[in-house]
Amino acid sequence: MESRLAITWGLSSIHGWGVFGINLVHELLARAGFAANGPSSKGWPRPLLLNETNLNLIAPTYHAMLQPLIDEQQRLVENAAHIESVGLQDTLILHSSGNNLVHNDVSARYRGVRNAGFTFFEETAIPAPAIAAAKTFDTMRTGSDWNRDYLLSRGLSDVICIHQGVDSTTFQPRAKTGRFKDRFVIFSGGKLEFRKGQDIVLAAFKAFHERHPEALLLTVWQNPWADSMATVLQGPHVRTAPRHGPSVADSIMAWTAGEGLPDGAHIDVGVIGNASLPDVLRDADAAVFANRCEGGTNLVAMECMASGIPCVMSMNTGHLDIASNDNCYPLTQQSKIADPHGRYEAWGESDVDEIVAALEAIYHDRAQANIRGQRAVTMMRQMTWSTQIEKLVTSFN
């Protein structure tokens, strides 16, 4: 194994890739048993950041750990400013990519002794040139079995699925605060867009709320990308899309009100970091993930499962790697989505009535809901960041 493991994406506490990166760096430092700028004593590679990192987007508890790595990254940029293509000795580089296997400029500039692609993609019909470019990597890693199988079907040969992890010390069952009193709280998380299915969640909640006026929809639907948020209009359940405003929470709640939710039925908590999410989840009685597609396993869903929250989950794409009849309320009715360009292979459209039925089951049988929630906790304790990152690193040996 090379002495350095470099990553091409930026770190943050507010989006999936960023949280993955923070936990990868943290685990590498912890396992290697060395200071950030010292030699490894246990054979694990030292992390190397190749992309800029903004500490304002990262929880303060990680600042001291990351500062030496950020300083090193800045020195690397300064020293290589005149070099078009930078080769790094004794370094394995993880090159991140998403839809169409598109890599960023940082990935295009750096090459290591070995180069591995790491991808979470949602859209299929990946162009042939992108597949050909992926074949130039020494190996590929994906965040779901579905991503892996798709790449294998397109002719790649060395592709391994490594699921993302969950922080089971931070995300675990916790006592409710009582702030919502006797209300039945339904959580929904993920950036608001067509793929995440918030329009489906909204339709299901409206129907459930008519039967149970004490129900409360609690959301973390922040999405800083206006174009992405506007795609919610592709869904059949809403007439408008949220408008960006000074307050993310106010903008989203104004949107749901315009779509027919009564006053007081919905709270969006706005922009929060990953470390603050447990305080939101602890008051949830259920969570709904009607996602049309997940390239990975859905980090927010994993965090809800680790917290013991009974989850209603669409049975498609990456969700299939963590959801079962035993540990959640599976949405098995998955209709095909109109797909004239072949982008939505394996995506699924969840049924609103099936979601409402699942919520009713949770509402009326809390004992069974708790059993499924505890099974999810047990599963997530086997998928910690420590476990998953060890699988990732050792997969390169």
13 and 161 in a common domain: yes
How many domains does the chain fold into?
2
Mean pLDDT along residues 6-28: 95
119 and 222 in a common domain: no
- State the pLDDT at residue 72: 97
249 and 230 in a common domain: yes
**CATH number, domain with residue 163:** 3.40.50
Give all strands (DSSP E) within the chain, no chain letters. Answer: 4-7, 46-49, 86-97, 110-119, 139-142, 159-161, 184-189, 215-220, 266-268, 286-289, 311-314, 329-331, 334-335, 349-350
What confidence tier does 39 reach under pLDDT thresholds 50, 70, 90?
A: very low
229 and 159 in a common domain: no
Q: DSSP states of 105-134 as a string? A: HHHHHEEEEEEEEEE--------HHHHHHH
143 and 103 in a common domain: yes
Return phi, psi of residue 76, to 5°: -60, -40
Is 73 within 8 Å of 49 (Cβ atoms)? yes
- State the pLDDT at residue 43: 79
pLDDT digit string, tens, across residues 131-142: 999 999 999 999
Mean pLDDT along residues 354-372: 98
Is 392 within 8 Å of 180 (Cβ atoms)? no
Q: Which residue has the tokens 């190996």?
A: 139
179 falls within a domain = no
Q: Is the pLDDT of residue 37 over 60?
A: no
What confidence tier does 32 reach under pLDDT thresholds 50, 70, 90?
A: confident
Angle between helices 16-32 and 63-79 (to 10 degrees): 100
Task: Give the chain's mean pLDDT.
Answer: 95
Q: What angle is formed at CA 207 by the lines to CA 231 and CA 357, rounded to 5 degrees?
A: 100
140 and 154 in a common domain: yes
Q: What angle is formed at CA 360 by the lines to CA 358 and CA 363, rounded to 5 degrees?
A: 115
131 and 189 in a common domain: no
Mean pLDDT along residues 269-284: 94
177 falls within a domain = no
Q: Is the pLDDT of residue 167 over 80?
A: yes
239 and 129 in a common domain: no
Strand order in the sheet with 266-268: 266-268, 215-220, 184-189, 286-289, 311-314, 329-331
51 falls within a domain = yes
**CATH number, domain with residue 256:** 3.40.50.2000
283 and 218 in a common domain: yes
pLDDT digit string, tens, across residues 186-241: 999 999 999 999 999 999 999 999 999 999 999 999 998 889 999 999 999 999 99
- State the pLDDT at residue 14: 87
- For the whole model, what pTM was predicted? 0.95
CA distance 127 to 234: 23
What confidence tier does 33 reach under pLDDT thresholds 50, 70, 90?
A: low
303 and 221 in a common domain: yes
pLDDT digit string, tens, across residues 97-120: 999 999 999 999 999 999 999 999
240 and 151 in a common domain: no
Mean pLDDT along residues 56-63: 94
- State the pLDDT at residue 363: 98
261 and 162 in a common domain: no
Is 309 within 8 Å of 281 (Cβ atoms)? yes
106 falls within a domain = yes
- State the pLDDT at residue 224: 87
Angle between helices 198-211 and 352-364 (to 10 degrees): 50
Mean pLDDT along residues 158-171: 97
Q: Which residues on adjacent β-strands are paired with residue 86?
A: 110
Domain ranges, residue 77: 4-167+384-394
Q: Is the pLDDT of residue 366 over 50?
A: yes
